Amino acid sequence: DTIPAEGAPVATSGSPEGKSEKGVRAEASRRRTFAVISHPDAGKSTLTEALALHAKVISEAGAVHGKAGRKSTVSDWMEMEKARGISVSSTALQFNYRSTEASADDPVDNVINLVDTPGHSDFSEDTYRVLTAVDAAVMLIDAAKGLEPQTLKLFQVCRHRGIPVITVINKWDRPGQTPLELLDEIQERIGLTPTPLYWPVGIAGDFRGLLRRGEDGAPREYIRFTRTAGGAKIAPEEVMDADAALAKEGSEWETAAEESELLSATGQDHDQELFLGGQTSPVIFASAMLNFGVRQILDTLVELAPPPRAREDVGGTPREVTDPFSAVVFKVQAGMDTAHRDRLAFMRIVSGVFERGIVVTHAQTGKPFTTKYAQTVFGRERSTVESAYPGDVVGLVNATALAPGHTLFFEKKVEFPPIPSFAPEHFSILRAESAGKYKQFRRAVDQLDSEGVVQILRNDLRGDASPVMAAVGPMQFEVVAARMKAEFNVEARMEPLGYALARRTDAESADELNRQRGVEVFTRSDGVMLALVSDKWRLQYIQKELPDLTLEPLVAAA
């Protein structure tokens, strides 16, 4: 299922198997790597399964169509996750999809990489890291609820990173707002111009089908859906022209056709450049549960979402997709399954061909790194990966040296910019319950710190035995406690620390700051000095009284 390299293999890319530049380019250009951003309950898991149902799942067909049936969700691994019903960890799902528009004489299968994002806002830092690994995002909105807080925050991350966004209005089978109200909300609250590609026929709660919009909003065709029992199968579609649609749906069709023309009158038509520039967003109405509109989402990804492109390194030089292999680690994950109690570092391939077994260089240490244990992960299932291309996500097993933001490369040196860490807002002292376990405790702290599970802060006053954890959300602390116990056999004790915010400072300011009430200076493991402050009024007071002290804001949490 790979496109054969044209002509004799030429080692121009320096890739291990000597795949031609043209071959790598072709592999990259048929790939689409994206994430779904949504508020919990908008239907992300349901949509993920519906997408997998519509596509040929390459890595682990069994994981979707297995005995467990449709409800075996893709991403509920950790005990904690199950207990809380939230998604803590993230993974990537890869499948083949042949777009409806693909011509018969050039039937190229696209390769879709769907990278899962954690649902809970406490893990927004993880979500941010995941979003550094994708080329596009699907913003999933509940038709009844409209834009919700988590959707808004995640959208801001996409905007900040220049990730083009496709909007999917989900649950159209249930009563909700009118389509025009929903579009207004998107336009007004986030300043993104929605440009519907398909328009619903039937109000929310009476989802009959989709009008496919053409030139000036005129209907290109009508796609009528039929329900299947429990939405367990691909919904049959009937495609017809406007006359047939009118005969079939009567006034529902007329309303849809009128509204579609109205949209064109207000300039809400798709424009590829504006979409890629983050100013507009193509819109699709769907019901993930009934599998309505899911094919249209996939077709839109294939037709409009950008394929993997060159990425700039720390010096601003682009690493072209045809350059030798390089990848960015965006997520380190552990304890996903009791059957594999290990650690996976997920990398997104930026350039070249990845072949399992090649020895690459870890840019941060300059050390060689063997990739013998490379896997793709889908839910609980894993399979060995033999080769992969730009846009693909590969998990490396027990790669303890790797942390989010790290670079791996082959032959031609490169280092990508680090992923910024967020401003922590929660702080807690961490101690081993029993002094006898100090060594394990130390090892656990170092490991979790390097993976970016929490930030670890230290100062001379508190010493090494009781470092301070800093996090965006308090649930990160629970992950630390759970993993310390499961992986390192250490019971940890935590004591909340009465600070509410952190500012970057320096050695010159440290002494003076430490003399202030409600302030304590720490050094983070990356060497950055942080002043923790009890509250914003205290901060304002200090900034006013002692304006020469360094107190710089950190990257705000998404």
Cα→Cα distances 17→21, 135, 472, Å: 11, 26, 43
Binding ligand GDP (rule: CB under 6 A), the pick from 13, 45, 167, 296 is 45
Q: What is the spatial distance between Cα 45 and Cα 30, in angstroms, rounded to a whole number?
A: 25
Minimum CB separation from ligand GDP for residue 186, in Å? 18
Examine residue 124 and tell whether it contacts ligand GDP (CB under 6 A).
Answer: no
φ, ψ at 165 (rounded to 5°): -120, 130
Binding ligand GDP (rule: CB under 6 A), the pick from 13, 15, 20, 38 is 38
Q: Which is closer to ligand GDP, CB of 227 or CB of 431?
A: 227
Angle, vertex CA 308, rays to CA 306 and CA 310, nearest 5:
115
Minimum CB separation from ligand GDP for residue 76, in Å? 10
Query: Which stretch, 42-50, 150-158, 271-279, 545-553, contacts ligand GDP (CB under 6 A)?
Result: 42-50
Task: Count other Cβ atoms within 10 Å, centred on residue 297.
Answer: 25
Minimum CB separation from ligand GDP for residue 340, in Å? 24
Q: What is the spatial distance between Cα 279 and Cα 191, in angstroms, rounded to a whole number?
A: 8
Examine residue 177 and tell whether it contacts ligand GDP (CB under 6 A).
Answer: no
Helix axes 242-249, 251-265, angle to 10 degrees: 130
Minimum CB separation from ligand GDP for residue 142, in Å? 8
Examine residue 42 and tell whether it contacts ligand GDP (CB under 6 A).
Answer: yes
Minimum CB separation from ligand GDP for residue 152, in Å? 15
Query: Which stretch, 40-48, 150-158, 210-218, 240-248, contacts ligand GDP (CB under 6 A)?
Result: 40-48
Q: Which long-range contacts (CB under 8 A, 24 or more apart) does 28-31 make?
A: 28/307, 28/308, 28/321, 28/322, 28/389, 28/390, 28/391, 29/307, 30/3, 30/108, 30/109, 30/110, 30/111, 30/307, 31/110, 31/111, 31/112, 31/113, 31/307, 31/308, 31/389, 31/390, 31/391, 31/392
Q: Is 119 annotated as a binding residue?
A: yes
Give 63: exposed, middle or buried? Use CB within 10 Å, 0-12, 13-18, 19+: buried
Examine residue 40 and tell whether it contacts ligand GDP (CB under 6 A).
Answer: yes
Cα→Cα distances 60→66, 288, 378, Å: 10, 21, 7
Examine residue 335 and tell whether it contacts ligand GDP (CB under 6 A).
Answer: no
Comparing CA positions, the residue from 82, 79, 93, 86 lying closest to residue 34 is: 93
Examine residue 428 and tell whether it contacts ligand GDP (CB under 6 A).
Answer: no
Site size with ligand GDP, rule: CB under 6 A: 16
Binding ligand GDP (rule: CB under 6 A), the pick from 59, 117, 170, 455 is 170
Q: Is 214 annotated as a binding residue?
A: no
CB 371 within 8 A of CB 396: yes
Examine residue 51 and tell whether it contacts ligand GDP (CB under 6 A).
Answer: no
Examine residue 121 and tell whether it contacts ligand GDP (CB under 6 A).
Answer: no
Cα→Cα distances 131→124, 154, 362, 398, Å: 10, 9, 22, 23
Residues of this chain, 238-297, that bind ligand GDP according to CB under 6 A = 287-289
Examine residue 30 and tell whether it contacts ligand GDP (CB under 6 A).
Answer: no
Residue least distant from ligand GDP (Cβ): 43
Examine residue 28 and tell whether it contacts ligand GDP (CB under 6 A).
Answer: no
Binding ligand GDP (rule: CB under 6 A), the pick from 173, 249, 252, 299 is 173
**3-class secondary structure, 394:** strand
Q: Is 120 annotated as a binding residue?
A: yes
Examine residue 132 and tell whether it contacts ligand GDP (CB under 6 A).
Answer: no
CB 179 within 8 A of CB 200: yes
Minimum CB separation from ligand GDP for residue 348, in Å? 22
Examine residue 174 and tell whether it contacts ligand GDP (CB under 6 A).
Answer: yes
φ, ψ at 48 (rounded to 5°): -55, -45
Binding ligand GDP (rule: CB under 6 A), the pick from 16, 23, 119, 209 is 119
Q: Is 116 annotated as a binding residue?
A: yes
Comparing CA positions, the residue from 267, 290, 293 lying closest to residue 279 is: 267
Minimum CB separation from ligand GDP for residue 46, in Å? 3
Minimum CB separation from ligand GDP for residue 150, in Å? 10
Q: What is the spatial distance between Cα 21 and Cα 25, in angstroms, rounded to a whole number?
A: 6
Positions at the binding site for GTP: 116-120
Residues that bind ligand GDP (CB under 6 A): 38, 40-46, 119, 170-171, 173-174, 287-289
Positions at the binding site: 116-120
